[in-house]
């Protein structure tokens, strides 16, 4: 009985985590020579991660700009 209850609970948790992707933020940033993107449940984290990815690939004299964030 415990095994069945545990498996049911685990399946419920996995189903909830799998459906969380539908509520994630997807943000994209770019510069003239590079781009970056990120997904997260938090909009602020997705924005900063996308900008950070772009900045790592961008030369010193260029600027990354956030192009869009979508849910």
At 33-70, the pLDDT tens digits run: 999 999 999 999 999 999 999 999 999 999 999 999 99
Asked whether the predicted pLDDT for residue 1 surpasses 60, the reply is no
From start to end of the chain, where are the E strands? 25-30, 35-40, 65-70
The DSSP annotation for 31-67 comes to -SS-EEEEEESSHHHHHHHHHHHHHHHS-TT---EEE
Predicted local distance difference test score (pLDDT) of residue 25: 98
Residue labelled with tokens 């964030």: 69
Asked whether the predicted pLDDT for residue 28 surpasses 80, the reply is yes
Q: What is the pairing mode between strands 25-30 and 65-70?
A: antiparallel
Q: Is the pTM above the cut of 0.85?
A: no
């Amino acid at each position: 009985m415990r095994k069945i209850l545990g498996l049911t609970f685990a399946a419920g948790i996995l189903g909830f985590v799998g459906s969380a992707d539908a509520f994630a933020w997807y943000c994209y940033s770019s510069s003239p020579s590079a781009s970056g993107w990120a997904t997260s449940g938090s909009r602020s984290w997705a924005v900063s991660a996308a900008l950070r990815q772009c900045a790592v690939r961008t030369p010193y004299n260029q600027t990354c700009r956030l192009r869009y964030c979508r849910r």
